[in-house]
Chain A
Amino acid sequence: MSTNGNGNTGEERFLNEVKQSLDARAENIEEKILLRLRKIRHQATLEAEGRKKGMFFLPRWIQTSALATVATAVVLVVVWFYSQRPAFLFKNPEDFEIVSSQDQMELYEDLDFYKWLAASDSRG
């Protein structure tokens, strides 16, 4: 089993020896592994039959991508929704002042009453 040959002949001989060695190894795989390989092959051929029956097949990477896209979309919608909510109930500072002042609020609440009173007086 010389590997000292020169040029292509030597290389070819070497490669043949390697090939024979690997063939021998492949042909002597343990029986329990062969059984599992057979099971996997059987499963694969069944899969091929099943695939023809089904209308759609989505590869796993597409399923994962779809899931990631949906999750991102949900996050974006939530962020967008919260960013649309006003930080304060009153954008105008003057409104804030009016509402925060309890006395003035009462005055505005009574305004209708005073208007009605004034109208009644003018009629009376």
Chain B
Amino acid sequence: MERKGCENLEPEKKKALNGFLTGIEKRAFTMVRFAVGNTEDALDLMQETMLTFVRLYSSRPEEEWKVLFYRILHSRITDWYRRAAVRKRLQQWFGFAKEDEKENSPEDFVESSQISPADLVENKEFNAALEKALSRLPARQQQTFFLRAWEDMNTKEVALAMKCSEGSVKTHFSRAVHTLRTILEDFSP
């Protein structure tokens, strides 16, 4: 009987894991693409995050999954920024800084990203302006904003995910909201 119980639990866990990843992947991908500015790197980071998540934390309680997932994602984005900074510095030292380096900038992503069907209906201009404004936010403010405002995570959860204090989260979020509202102040339907 006990054996049968264990066998039933496994598919449930698997189903829950699949459901969790399915539910989070679109938003997570959108956040990463905003952060790194290009689709390929965003997909690579998503892959690393998902694999690391299931390896390390799939056995943890489901209530913790969201924070743990975004904690890994945050680490991967930070690593990406570090690698990008080193790469840029090396290119400058050796004098072969690429002209097309701008391809990776978030602003260009916004400029070149496909216009979604949602943009074609009402609020099109607001959506475009919002994307541009979000892309201009400093990395930590941007991530804090996404997790607080979009993922509805509380301050403590965001602090855990971003490996910083709750005070820092409040500061980043407040600044992000202020900046966005200032940029979008003139927007009206």
Contacts and interface: CB of A to CB of B under 8 A. Distances in A.
Interface residues of A, number: 35
Given A3-B185, A29-B29, A33-B39, A21 B55 contact: no
Given A1-B189, A30-B114, A59 B55 contact: yes
Interface string A80-105: 00000000000000000000000000
A44 interface: yes
Given A1-B123, A15-B177, A28-B118, A37 B25 contact: yes
A51 B51 CA distance: 11
A43 B51 contact: yes
A75 interface: no
Nearest to B148: A15
Given A48-B58, A57-B55, A15 B149 contact: yes
Interface stretch (B83-91, B94-102, B125-133, B155-163): B125-133
Interface string B90-127: 00000000000000000000000010111100010011
Given A19-B149, A45-B18, A3 B184 contact: yes
Given A3-B185, A19-B149, A40-B47, A25 B21 contact: no
A21 B127 contact: yes
Interface in B124-172: 126-127, 130-131, 146, 149-150
Interface of A: 1-4, 11, 14-15, 17-22, 24-30, 33-34, 36-37, 40-41, 43-45, 47-49, 51, 57, 59
B188 A24 contact: no
B53 A21 contact: no
B116 A25 contact: yes
Nearest to B185: A3
B22 interface: yes
Contact of A28 (B21, B117, B123, B131): B117
Closest CB pairs A-B (n = 9) = A24-B118, A28-B116, A44-B50, A48-B54, A26-B26, A1-B189, A40-B47, A26-B30, A41-B21
B1 interface: no
Nearest to A4: B185
A1 B187 contact: yes
A19 B25 CA distance: 16
